[in-house]
Amino acid sequence: MKNEAIRYLISFAVLLLLTLSLVMACTQPNPIPPPTPPEPPPAPSEPPPTQPAVVSDNQTPEEPPPASEAEDEGGWYTTGTFSGTGNDTIPSFHIYGTEWRITWAIDAENLEAANFELLIYREDAPYIVWQTVSSSGSSGEETYILFPRDKRDFLIKVTAQNLSQWSIVVKDNASAATSYPVRITHVRYQGTIYPTDPEKCMCYEVCEPDEYVVIKNLGECYVDVSGWVLKNINKLYPKFTFPSHQSVMLPPGAIIRVYTNEFHPETGGLSFYYGPGDIWSNDEPDIAVLYDAEGNEVSRKSYLVPMEINEAASE
């Protein structure tokens, strides 16, 4: 009986040792796998996926910079340059600064017989003359001061008789009051018209899909233009809205082109996609206006239509 008890004790001890060894094996920590090396960052030359392609000033320009980009000494910026030979109306323009200036010059064989007069109107009151300029010489200049409460959209009616040509330059100290350095610098209003050609499966006319508006960042910092709106204020529609679901940053010195019906990724890939085309008139100057995401006007730009086109349109 004693021997049998000893055998039970020995068996129990063996089972206990086996159980303890199994428990210790199960409680050993799992080895930690080596860390996965991070993926290399994209090459610096690759643009962020949410940014549109833009053209920078250090690239070869496709066209000379328009006059509105030029800054004169003293911080004066050219708003527009206009010329003609007879009576005319200068399209509406916007003054951003606290001062603006008109410089004019006339060419006439007999200055004493020449008549050159400018009637300046506020755009919202075209029936009341705001300022009058009369010139008895070959050139002149006038400067006007605006207060924050003043309206800033003007138009000018030109009376010109017995002279060969006249020219007007409008400037303002825009840097003193403009919160955004982004400007409309050019409107390419005359695009290509593709006539019908059944042999090439073109069954309808394609009207000026390559018109475009140039928008440039003249400042030294990035500007977020997401949700901004570009439109022709002479027409009810269409309007182009920059993507608002993502940040659209315009680098310093860069430009974006907004086409009528074409896709050009090298200049932003932005387009109105307006089926009829011909957003910008070839007969009468239209006005392109850019608004920020809150609806505040940022910039506007018109253009001059050569006189021979106006004459042909009126016949």
Is residue 58 located within the same domain as residue 103? no
Is residue 259 located within the same domain as residue 229? yes
Is residue 220 located within the same domain as residue 127? no
* Average pLDDT value for the chain: 77
Q: Is the pLDDT assigned to residue 267 strictly greater than 90?
A: no
In the structure, what pLDDT confidence band is assigned to residue 199 with cuts at 50, 70 and 90?
confident
Can you tell me which residue has the tokens 């009810």?
Answer: 236
**Percentage, residues of the chain above pLDDT 90:** 36
Query: Beta 229-232 vs 239-241: how paired, if at all?
Result: antiparallel
17 CB neighbour count, 10 Å cutoff: 10
DSSP string, 19-43: HHHHHHHHTSPPPPPPPPPPPPPPP
Residues 6+ apart with CB under 8 A from 37: none
The C-alpha atoms of residue 129 and residue 119 are separated, in whole angstroms, by 6
In a domain, 44, yes or no: no
In a domain, 33, yes or no: no
- Kindly state the average pLDDT of the residues 104-126: 91
In a domain, 192, yes or no: yes
Is residue 234 located within the same domain as residue 123? no
CATH code for the domain in which residue 134 is found = 2.60.120.380
Q: Is the pLDDT assigned to residue 23 strictly greater than 60?
A: no
pLDDT for the residue 225: 92
In a domain, 19, yes or no: no
Is residue 197 located within the same domain as residue 311? yes
In eight-state DSSP terms, residue 66 is: P
- Contacts of 17-22 with C-beta under 8 Å, sequence gap 24+, read none
Residues 6+ apart with CB under 8 A from 75: 173, 175, 176
Please state which of the ranges 37-41, 102-106, 132-136 shows the lowest mean pLDDT: 37-41
pLDDT for the residue 198: 72
Is residue 185 located within the same domain as residue 298? yes
Q: Is the pLDDT assigned to residue 286 strictly greater than 60?
A: yes
The C-alpha atoms of residue 7 and residue 15 are separated, in whole angstroms, by 12
In the structure, what pLDDT confidence band is assigned to residue 56 with cuts at 50, 70 and 90?
very low
Q: Is the pLDDT assigned to residue 107 strictly greater than 70?
A: yes
Structural domain harbouring 148:
76-172
Which string of b and e fits 52-81 if b means at least 16 CB within 10 Å? bebbeeeeeeeeeebebeeeeeeebbbbbb
In a domain, 24, yes or no: no
pLDDT for the residue 11: 63
In a domain, 191, yes or no: yes
Q: Best-predicted range by mean pLDDT among 38-47, 224-233, 289-298?
A: 224-233
CATH code for the domain in which residue 226 is found = 2.60.40.1260
Q: Is the pLDDT assigned to residue 113 strictly greater than 60?
A: yes
Domain boundary (155, 172, 189) is at 172
In a domain, 287, yes or no: yes
* pTM for the structure as a whole: 0.49
Is residue 164 located within the same domain as residue 80? yes
Domain boundary (152, 172, 192) is at 172
Is residue 164 located within the same domain as residue 312? no
Give the number of C-alpha atoms closer than 13 A to the C-alpha of residue 255, restricted to the C-beta side.
28
Q: Is the pLDDT assigned to residue 297 strictly greater than 50?
A: yes
In the structure, what pLDDT confidence band is assigned to residue 74 with cuts at 50, 70 and 90?
low
Q: Is the pLDDT assigned to residue 26 strictly greater than 50?
A: no
Is residue 89 located within the same domain as residue 205? no
Q: Is the pLDDT assigned to residue 230 strictly greater than 70?
A: yes
Q: For the chain, what is the domain count?
A: 2
Is residue 60 located within the same domain as residue 85? no
Domain boundary (131, 148, 172) is at 172
Return the CA Rg of the chain: 35
In a domain, 43, yes or no: no
Is residue 166 located within the same domain as residue 199? no
247: exposed, middle or buried (C-beta count within 10 Å: 0-12, 13-18, 19+)?
middle
Q: Which residue has the higher pLDDT, 103 or 27?
A: 103
Is residue 56 located within the same domain as residue 192? yes
- Kindly state the average pLDDT of the residues 288-292: 91
